[in-house]
Structure 1
Amino acid sequence: MLNGSVAIVTGASRGIGKAIALTLAKNDASLVINGTNRELLNELAVQIEKLGKKCFILVGDAAKPETAANVVRTVIDAFGRIDILINNAGINMRSSTLEMELTDWQNVLDVNLNGTLYFCKTVLPFMIEQKYGKIVNISSTAAKTAHRNAAPSYGASKAGVNYLTRHLALEMAPHNIYVNAVCPGPVETDMSRQWTDEYRQEVSAKIPLQKLGTPQNVADAVLFLASHMSDFITGETINVNGGTYMN
């Protein structure tokens, strides 16, 4: 589906980011993957290369502007172009407003919102020059409705990602650059596997489909938005949540 495209995936070490990177590679994309865990990134790169695709690693914190600059420089040096950007890097805190430290608020915004901006701002000049690009931001249903088990910093950061997605879609449309977001609901990840059975049942019971999603469910939606199958879609925030939030 991707016809030899070149993609960046941030936060690719595990979970949703890893599933996205593998799915893009299986659909004929070469990749530069970013994260903070070199060992896990190396393991993922080996898997991608076994699929016959090139993969470069760049370790770095998405919250730092220099990380985006280094990743994009690596892509351009290696491939000469950048077709797809997947902003998946993100962190979450689980505390009430009164319990939350202000440093935690800032850290979440720095990674989830500022990191997304840094990568978008860095790739856009290259996409404008080549008159094409696909950007997919990984947001959350927490951006659209309040959750008791998420800190306010998380929902606020993802709401910012949704607005940034719409704004960039409008601004970049004349350049044939598509910008969309995916909003996952409860998904089976390392974090959710730490839940008690009681809490897991409680979460599942609130989902109309009566089950948690998988990283692959999210990756499939990302693949659609990164491919030419979505060439009349931009500025959207697509829910992948089993019906827990509908709009």
Structure 2
Amino acid sequence: MMLLEGRIAVVTGASRGIGRSIALTLAEQGASLVINGTREDLLLDLAAEVNALGQTCVICTGDVSDQETAHKVAHTAIEHFGCIDILVNNAGINMRTSTLEMDTKDWQKVLDVNLNGTLYLCMAVLPHMIEKNYGKIVNVTSTTAKTPHRNAAPSYGASKAGVNYLTQHLALEMAKHNIYVNAVCPGPIDTDMSKQWTQEYRQQAIARIPLGKLGTPENVADTVLFLASKMSDFITGESINMNGGTYMN
């Protein structure tokens, strides 16, 4: 039996990279999906792959920083499937300016997508999970939420730290409804963005990782799968590090 057989999952930021891998992993384990992103063409390609796995996949385009997107995503899931079992808040953006170089509009944009977008989706989905008396929410944050990184703008770390706190707060509030809320904190992951690094920077980044390698989107997806399945039925309010040992606690 597949780990998520019969479950309905929503995945934001699913167009590419980590979000795409999460969507495919959940589908491989039996989940039907509503996938969100801003690129309809990429979502359609992903939906076709999910359908080829034998699972139903519905797309819902939109920017999560707009609260209406959250309402549209939840409505789409209920309209097509009648319930929402799993929410994966993966949508996020990063900027790489230092504090004094950063425009305050950029600060606000990062918080709007990463922190507010997560809150909006949770607020839209939670009433349906409460009605069912079950739900699994997994927020994708970052090691930068716990320790600063020179290659990330302060807005990024602050937004992800906010998501980590929101994860704990919602876990406390929602436990009585049998709703689990956890976060995954990836470190350096080999995505399209990391492929743009110079060879020198790539070697420096790998040298700082105790395991001596970058993570993969599939590594993140496997951790999300664990938290979305019954394997994690005594875990809530946690922010799980998965970064090759670059940050340990």
Coarse TM-score class (shorter-chain normalised):
over 0.9
| Distance in 1, Cα, partners of 2:85 & 2:13 | 18
Residue in structure 1 matching 2:207, options 205, 208, 224: 205
State yes or no: 1:216 paired with 2:187: no
Superposition RMSD in Å: 0.3
Residue aligning to 1:17: 19
Q: How much has 1:168 moved relative to structure 2?
A: 0.2
Aligned residue in 2 for 1:130 = 132
> Deviation string for 1:113-138 (max 9, x for gaps)?
00000000110011001000000000
Secondary structure, aligned partner of 1:157: helix
SS in 2 for 1:200: helix
Q: Structure 1 unaligned segments of length 5 or more: list them.
A: none
Aligned pairs for 1:86-101 (under 5 A) are: 86-101=88-103
Deviations 1:10-49 (A, max 9, x none): 0000000000000000000000000000111000000000
1:242 equivalent in structure 2: 244
Instruction: Write the letter of the residue equivalent to 2:42.
Output: L
Aligned-partner residue type, residue 124 of structure 1: L
Cα distance in structure 2, aligned partners of 1:3 and 1:23: 12
2:227 counterpart SS class? helix
Provide, for residues 41-87 of structure 1, a one-character-per-residue CA deviation record: whole Å limited to 9, x for no partner: 00000000000000000110010000000010000010100000000
- The whole-number CA distance in structure 2 between the counterparts of 1:128 and 1:38 is 30
SS, match of residue 155 in structure 2: helix
Please point out which of 120, 123, 148 is paired with 1:121: 123
Q: Does 1:39 align with 2:41?
A: yes
Query: Which residue type is aligned with residue 25 of structure 2?
Result: T
CA deviations on 1:122-163 (whole Å, 9 max, x unpaired) are 100110010000000000000000101100000000000000
Deviations 1:178-205 (A, max 9, x none): 0000000000111100000000000000
Moved over 3 A (4+): none
Alignment of 1:112 with 2:136, yes or no, is no
Say how many residue pairs are matched.
247
Instruction: Report deviation, 1:213.
Output: 0.3
Q: Measure, in 2, the Cα distance between the counterparts of 1:68 and 1:228.
A: 26
Q: Which runs of 5+ in 2 are unaligned?
A: none
* 1:117 partner amino acid: L
Cα separation, 2, equivalents of 1:25 and 1:76: 18
- In 2, Cα distance between equivalents of 1:62 and 1:34: 9
Distance across 2 between alignment mates of 1:218 and 1:89: 14
Match of 1:177 in 2: 179
2-structure distance, mates of 1:2, 1:31:
11
TM-score between both structures, scaled by the size of structure 1: 1.00
Identity of aligned residues (%): 72
Whole-angstrom CA distance in 1 between matches of 2:32 and 2:194: 30
1:4, distance to aligned residue in structure 2 (A): 1.2
Taking structure 2 as the reference length, what is the TM-score of the superposition? 0.99
